[in-house]
């Protein structure tokens, strides 16, 4: 039966109306998505107003939601993401970021198995598929230490899905234990001049070097350590990278190692060497007895640099675990323990009277977290004056420059409260920067936690510049554009939020100071409210 023409016309009109309504609905949904998506998806803000608000919780440092965070592991950049793996009780915790500031927590990546715990290590992008794991495409390979029954060996795992899932190599361990007690923390990188993978691994109080064509078969090539630097305790978490000297552009290799808990340095510490590397072994440019400390505070350990940052970026970036093996998991933070430092850009600088030294500066991405600045003009500070009176903060950055005058000491006090303060003091006569946490807050969890730390610091062009990052329980000091760095954790009362600039027994010129409240990377909130 044929439909009348007018009914066909009505059906056609109805169909057009339905299509228009559907299109309007889709447009409405899209517009609503745009309204909802005010916060960039990359930032991963948690909608809960109480997320990461526990007592002592840092607001712009990476810390675990629960459980332990210690050594940074497997730091690598791949397909728009920075991967931050870390030790979590013998397994690899995992977080990713697009900007090194806002982090998304992911499930455990590399877990315990029949070969034992998955201890510290590194990760690389196998761009040329030298392993054969990726069908000719690039993929991620993690290199880590297995630990079982007191025996340490090196193993690998690989991922074809941007680090979301990992497959352990069936031929593990790729380097069985060579009958030594301490054999751990492999750092691997591609050495272009020799067209080979290089592994540097800790062996008691030295490091060994290995070469490989495919990350599976390894050959021992040399060692470094005996007679050089500090041997106060076992060497751990080595790194090796090439940096240009700022003044000349000449490139030097930098070897870094962390040193375990010991009485000489009153806890764990970290040191570095500057020299040459030929793909097989390292040669130190400085006198063997000279000790170059990475950080003059107590809480910067196991720092490792990110692998495979694009050449057009041009930076070498690392971060460290903010703790000390004197008190690794005894901090009064409840269900979570430990956090990372802020990421830092590494440079080499020829410092007059000292030589070529490693420089650390906070990455520029941190500037995006700044709230409205409060600026203070040039002025003379005498005893009893405090230009920062009325400024309150628990998570902030402050940049200052001083010209020493007659004062015996000058500096800044942060996290001030009733019977609490953390003091950063410069003494011109000694040319020393002192970080004093003897009255910084809770310290009963560790005998000796309430202590002072010192760093040598010469004025630069007659001036002393201090850049501080305070984030609840964390304090990081960058003096004279990163020439001296001090890192420490503190546990003040949450209401201890005062700041004070001071001078003792004389005057100091404050050339400038800028205070920035810092926004949380975990929640969308106004930083000027913290």
Residue-wise DSSP of 86-133: EESSSSEEEEEESSSSSEEEEEEEE--BTTBEEEEEEEEEETT-TTS-
Q: How far is CA 490 from CA 128, 180, 479, in A?
A: 46, 38, 19
CB atoms within 10 A of CB 12: 10
Q: What's the mean pLDDT when you consider all of the chain?
A: 92
CATH no. for 71-177: 2.115.10.20
- Does domain 368-529 fall under CATH 1.10.3720.10? My reply is no
Asked if 408 and 427 count as a contact pair (C-beta separation under 8 A), the reply is: yes
For 383-392, the pLDDT digits (tens) are 999 999 999 9
3-state secondary structure string across 172-227:
CCCECCCCCCCCEEEEEEEEHHHCEEEEEEEECCEEEEEEECCCCCCEEEEEECCC
Extents of the domains making up the chain:
71-177, 368-529
Percent of the chain at pLDDT > 70 equals 91
Say yes or no: do domains 71-177 and 368-529 share a fold: no
Would you write out the chain's pLDDT as a tens digit for each of its 530 residues?
Answer: 444 554 545 445 555 544 444 444 433 333 322 222 223 444 556 668 899 999 999 999 999 999 999 999 999 999 999 999 999 999 999 999 999 999 999 999 999 999 999 999 999 999 999 999 999 999 999 999 999 999 999 999 999 999 999 999 999 999 999 999 999 999 999 999 999 999 999 999 999 999 999 999 999 999 999 999 999 999 999 999 999 999 999 999 999 999 999 999 999 999 999 999 999 999 999 999 999 999 999 999 999 999 999 999 999 999 999 999 999 999 999 999 999 999 999 999 999 999 999 999 999 999 999 999 999 999 999 999 999 999 999 999 999 999 999 999 999 999 999 999 999 999 999 999 999 999 999 999 999 999 999 999 999 999 999 999 999 999 999 999 999 999 999 999 999 999 999 999 999 999 999 999 999 999 877 777 66
For 115-136, the pLDDT digits (tens) are 999 999 999 999 999 999 999 9
- The whole-angstrom separation of Cα 464 and Cα 448 is 29
> Helix (H, G, I), strand (E, B), or coil: what is residue 401?
strand
Catalytic residue among 30, 42, 71, 419: 71
Active site includes 30?
no
Phi, psi (degrees; rounded to nearest 5) at 167: -115, 125
């Amino acid at each position: 039966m044929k439909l009348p023409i007018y009914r066909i016309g009505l059906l056609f009109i109805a169909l057009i109306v339905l299509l228009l309504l559907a299109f309007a609905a889709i447009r409405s949904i899209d517009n609503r998505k745009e309204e909802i998506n005010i916060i960039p998806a990359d930032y991963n803000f948690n909608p809960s107003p109480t997320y990461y608000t526990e007592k002592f919780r840092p607001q712009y440092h990476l810390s675990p939601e629960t459980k332990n965070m210690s050594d940074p592991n497997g730091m690598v950049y791949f397909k728009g993401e920075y991967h931050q793996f870390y030790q979590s009780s013998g397994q690899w915790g995992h977080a990713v970021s697009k900007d090194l500031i806002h982090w998304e927590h992911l499930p455990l990546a590399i877990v315990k198995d029949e070969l034992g715990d998955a201890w510290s290590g590194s990760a690389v992008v196998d761009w040329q598929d030298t392993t054969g794991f990726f069908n000719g495409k690039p993929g991620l390979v993690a290199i880590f230490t297995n630990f079982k029954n007191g025996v340490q060996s090196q193993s690998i795992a690989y991922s074809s899905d941007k680090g979301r899932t990992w497959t352990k190599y069936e031929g593990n361990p790729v380097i069985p234990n060579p009958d030594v007690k301490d054999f751990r923390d492999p750092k691997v990188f591609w050495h272009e001049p020799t067209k080979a993978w290089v592994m540097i691994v800790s062996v008691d109080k030295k490091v060994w070097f290995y070469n490989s064509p495919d990350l599976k078969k390894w050959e021992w090539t040399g060692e470094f350590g005996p007679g050089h630097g500090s041997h106060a305790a076992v060497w751990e978490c080595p790194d090796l990278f090439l940096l240009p000297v700022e003044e000349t552009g000449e490139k030097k290799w930098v070897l870094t190692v962390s040193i375990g808990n010991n009485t000489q340095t009153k806890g764990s510490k970290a040191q570095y060497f500057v020299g040459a590397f030929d793909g097989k072994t390292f040669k130190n440019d400085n006198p063997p007895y000279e000790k170059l400390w990475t950080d003059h505070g107590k809480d910067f350990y196991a720092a490792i640099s990110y692998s495979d940052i694009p050449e057009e970026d041009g930076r070498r970036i690392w971060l460290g675990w903010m703790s000390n093996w004197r008190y690794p998991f005894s901090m009064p933070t409840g269900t979570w323990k430990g956090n990372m430092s802020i990421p830092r850009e590494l440079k080499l600088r020829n410092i007059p009277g000292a030589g070529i030294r490693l420089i650390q500066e906070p990455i520029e991405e941190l500037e995006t977290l700044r709230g409205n600045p409060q600026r203070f003009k040039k002025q003379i500070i005498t005893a009893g004056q405090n230009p920062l009176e009325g400024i309150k903060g628990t998570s902030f950055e402050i940049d200052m420059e001083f010209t020493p005058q007659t004062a015996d000491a000058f500096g800044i006090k942060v996290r001030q409260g009733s019977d609490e303060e953390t003091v950063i003091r410069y003494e011109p006569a000694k040319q020393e920067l002192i970080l004093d946490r003897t009255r910084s807050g809770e310290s009963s969890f560790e005998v000796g936690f309430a202590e002072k730390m010192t760093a040598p610091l010469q004025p630069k062009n007659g001036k002393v510049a201090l850049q501080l990052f305070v984030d609840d329980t964390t304090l990081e000091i960058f003096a004279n554009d990163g020439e001296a760095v001090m890192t420490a954790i503190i546990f003040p009362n949450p209401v201890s939020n005062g700041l004070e600039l001071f001078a003792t027994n004389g005057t100091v010129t404050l050339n400038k100071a800028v205070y920035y409240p810092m926004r949380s990377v975990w929640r969308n909130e106004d930083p000027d409210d913290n």
